[in-house]
Structure 1
Amino acid sequence: MPIILCGDWNGSKRGHVYKFLRSQGFVSSYDTAHRYTDSDAHKWVSHRNHRGNICAVDFIWLLNPNRYRKLLKTSWSEAVFGMFRYLLRRASLTAEDAFAFLKTDNDGDHITFMGFCETLRQLNLTGHCNGLTTKEIKDLWTQADIDGNGLLDYKEFQQRIWNQTWSEQRDAEDGEAKGNQEQTVGFSVKNAVLFPPEVEKGMWPENYSLSDHARLTVVFSPIRMPCSQLVS
């Protein structure tokens, strides 16, 4: 069945929440109705914050059955590795430097589980109430350790942590999965409108004081479509 998520997502199209939901196959109903892409962030707004900045943060997300991509656990791992990668690159580390950083004090040409845990701690992803749990860390390690030998070599580091090809490869495989698929019911986006109308042109009217968020209304219509297979 189709899934609809509504609300103020407290982040623009450049944020991690937006990118994560897009990686799951969700689409912005408003963008779909107006044939906008992920790069059209400037074409509409829905919120003016307390600093006076305007941005698009309100979405009605749609995930149709033919867009299901991955099991949540797999996608969660990719999202965490994405944060991991972002923090390393924000420190201006090259791939070689990042690999050496994860090796910590290990003299070998590999990353140990202890070194992996220490790096997570230094990046502030563990060691506090909102950090990763012991089980989550072990799950991440299992995802990264492709050959299961208890060590991460440079190739595994590149494939699972540093590069994004893992996610892209899974998406490609998912897109190639065809054949006798079952039919199910999904939604098409018939129309989507923001109010006041000025926000649809990327502007916030100075005389609008009803709310600091624009109202988004979407009309859906049921359609028949094939049901995709989840990638485990």
Structure 2
Amino acid sequence: MRKERKMKMKGRISRIGSYAISSSIRDHHQQQPCITCTTFNILAPIYKRLNHEDPSCRESDYRAFWMTRNQSILDWLLYERSSIICLQEFWVGNEELVNIYEKRLGAAGYTSFKLGRTNNRGDGLLTAVHKDFLRVLNCRELLFNDCGDRVAQLLHVELATTPFTQCRNSNDLRQEILIVNTHLLFPHDSSLCLVRLNQVYKILQCVESYQTENNLNPMSIILCGDWNGSKRGHVYKFLRSQGFVSSYDTAHQYTDADAHKWVSHRNHRGNICGVDFIWLLNPNSYRKLLKTSWNEAVFGMFKYLLRRALRTEHDAFAFLKADNCDDCITYSGFCEALRHLNLVGHCYGLSAEETKDLWVQADIDGNGVLDFEGFQQRIWNPTGTEQGDEHGNEVQDNGSKDSKLQTIGFSIKNAVLFPPEVEKGRWPDDYSLSDHARLTVVFSPIRMPCSQLIP
């Protein structure tokens, strides 16, 4: 029975593979080559528990177990043959396992880059790019140096073949992509929400800085990884405000209301959730200023924590104005409330500048106080939507008539989660490769104009 199920699942993947993964693939309508991207948290053996009654019993103590499982993971990855492979919880601390991955991936035509978490945590990231599809121009490592010891990789790559033959000699057609692989901190409690949001902010700052330092025009950005947060979270909203779209949701035409339709992880608490994403930002997509998005994201988190902690608007107003008898909120009372909400007062809390920026969003007229009516309008019950629909941030900028700069973006042709049960919101009991599902997305290059300036 298991063998039949395995063959059925393999057949399903091969249908995706026959469409887009082998080097001879062409888009059936546009006759353009596709590239594919796979993200997969492979569950490091140092974290995989073999006996739930004995948490100290880990797979890392049994070579035959972790070797068999990781060889199976490699079999699947090499069978699928994605253009880009992004792995999280890669056991960088085990030299034998590292050598196996590097040897097998290298023999299959991949160039791979690994990065361990800080403070010798044992696991980390591995990003592999297939030489038939992409050439690596540069690689950068991002160390967050925070309480989670998390890291990220940034790869600057170029399409190995020109997808638009009529423009093969054109100097104004950009054929480059930025790829990020990361694994965000798990939200063990609400105090870590700000840390996680800050990790994403640092990633986007790194991407922006890299583009500016190298005088690069806007290009497609693909963010891959285990984001340890769902479509309802602050990280998701933050990325959306920057113009990124969830590739899987776009491929399946899911909206925010469809968050329950798929899962990708069964966590250590036994809960199933959707946390693995491949985000796409095309160079002609609308983007807010990064600092603006960051301020709005932090302000949204503050309002969420406030509403969760206090039942009514009157309670919340009293909480913010503290002991001020003038019946208004002042900056000092606002700061004290932030301290109670655990947003300031510790090493990973908001800085003095960020706290001031947060206050400016509340005190929009700049008179230094916020009365009850202002509190209702700006904090408790703001007018307008804080988040658009699924595609609301993908505003296409066709450019001015004088703009001649062309680039390559991507349309999302398909996306699949494996095992297939997770696409129906269920976690199969007989799945043992990892505690995460594998996500693969098929991208088709398309020509588009791009903005001359990066915000």
TM-score above 0.5: yes
Q: CA separation in 2, counterparts of 1:41 and 1:55? A: 9
Contact 2:362 2:379 in 1 (8 A): yes
Among candidates 324, 328, 332, match of residue 106 of structure 1: 324
Q: Larger Rg: 1 or 2?
A: 2
Change (3 A) 1:209 1:187: same
Matched with 2:282 is: 64
TM score, norm. by length of structure 1 = 0.84
Change (3 A) 1:82 1:222: same
RMSD of aligned alpha carbons = 3.2
Q: CA separation in 2, counterparts of 1:48 and 1:170? A: 29
Contact 2:243 2:287 in 1 (8 A): yes
Question: How far 1:43 sits from its partner (Å)?
Answer: 1.8
Change (3 A) 1:150 1:184: farther
Q: Given the alignment of the two structures, is residue 180 of structure 1 paired with residue 400 of structure 2, yes or no?
A: yes
Alignment of 1:6-21 (within 5 A): 6-21=224-239
Contact 1:26 1:61 in 2 (8 A): yes
Matched with 2:370 is: 152
The residue type paired with residue 409 of structure 2 is G
The residue type paired with residue 117 of structure 1 is C
Q: Given the alignment of the two structures, is residue 217 of structure 1 paired with residue 405 of structure 2, yes or no?
A: no
Matched with 1:206 is: 429
**Unmatched 5+ stretches in structure 2:** 1-218
Q: CA separation in 2, counterparts of 1:173 and 1:45? A: 24
Q: Given the alignment of the two structures, is residue 22 of structure 1 paired with residue 240 of structure 2, yes or no?
A: yes
Q: CA separation in 2, counterparts of 1:31 and 1:90? A: 28
1:191-228 alpha-carbon deviations (Å, 9 max, x no partner):
11112222222222222211111111111122234557
Tell which deviates more after alignment, 23-32 or 218-227: 218-227
The residue type paired with residue 104 of structure 1 is A
Q: CA separation in 2, counterparts of 1:118 and 1:161? A: 16
Question: How far 1:93 sits from its partner (Å)?
Answer: 3.4
SS in 2 for 1:7: strand
Contact 2:243 2:393 in 1 (8 A): no
Matched with 2:72 is: none
Matched with 2:253 is: 35
Change (3 A) 1:113 1:176: farther
Contact 1:2 1:187 in 2 (8 A): yes
Change (3 A) 1:175 1:101: farther
Q: CA separation in 1, counterparts of 2:393 and 2:276? A: 31
SS in 1 for 2:279: strand
Which has the larger strand fraction? Answer: 2
Matched with 2:338 is: 120
Question: How far 1:6 sits from its partner (Å)?
Answer: 0.4
**Unmatched 5+ stretches in structure 1:** none
SS in 2 for 1:40: helix
Q: Given the alignment of the two structures, is residue 55 of structure 1 paired with residue 55 of structure 2, yes or no?
A: no
TM score, norm. by length of structure 2 = 0.45
The residue type paired with residue 180 of structure 1 is S
Contact 2:237 2:297 in 1 (8 A): no
Change (3 A) 1:132 1:65: same
1:116-146 alpha-carbon deviations (Å, 9 max, x no partner):
1111112111111111111211222233322
SS in 2 for 1:191: strand
1:156-183 alpha-carbon deviations (Å, 9 max, x no partner):
4334323344764999999699983756
Percent identity between the two aligned chains: 78
Compare relative contact order (CA 8 Å, sep 6+) and give the higher one, 1 or 2. Answer: 1
Q: CA separation in 2, counterparts of 1:42 and 1:169? A: 18
Question: How far 1:44 sits from its partner (Å)?
Answer: 1.7
The number of aligned residues is: 231
Q: CA separation in 2, counterparts of 1:174 and 1:196? A: 30
Q: CA separation in 2, counterparts of 1:173 and 1:198? A: 30
SS in 2 for 1:30: helix
SS in 2 for 1:59: strand
